[in-house]
Amino acid sequence: MMKTYLKSTSEAVAPFPKDLLLWNYWDHEHVVGTHFEHYKKVKIIRENEKECLSERTAKLPLVPFYITEQTLAKLESPNKMLVYHSTLFNLVKVKQVFDFEEIDKNNCRVTRSDFLEIPYFLKFLQKLFDIIMKKWFVAVWAEDMPMRERRYKVWKLGFKDFKGIDYVNDEKVNSNSYQRHPERDYKLELPVPKITNIKKEGSFRLFKKSKHLGYSK
Q: Which residues are at the interface with Fe ion (CB under 5 A)?
A: 144
Residue 25: CB minimum distance to Fe ion, A: 7
Name the residue nearer to Fe ion (CB basis): 12 or 165.
Answer: 12
Name the residue nearer to Fe ion (CB basis): 11 or 169.
Answer: 11
DSSP string covering 153-176, please?
A: HHHHTTBSTTS-BHHHH-TTS-HH
**Could you tell me which of 93, 52, 104 has the C-alpha nearest to residue 73?**
52
C-alpha distances out from residue 98 to 10, 79, 82, 154, Å: 10, 8, 6, 26
Residue 105: CB minimum distance to Fe ion, A: 22
Residue 164: CB minimum distance to Fe ion, A: 25
Name the residue nearer to Fe ion (CB basis): 118 or 133.
Answer: 133
CB atoms within 10 A of CB 116: 21
Amino acid at 161: D
Residue 169: CB minimum distance to Fe ion, A: 28
**Minimal CB distance residue for Fe ion:** 144
Name the residue nearer to Fe ion (CB basis): 56 or 118.
Answer: 56
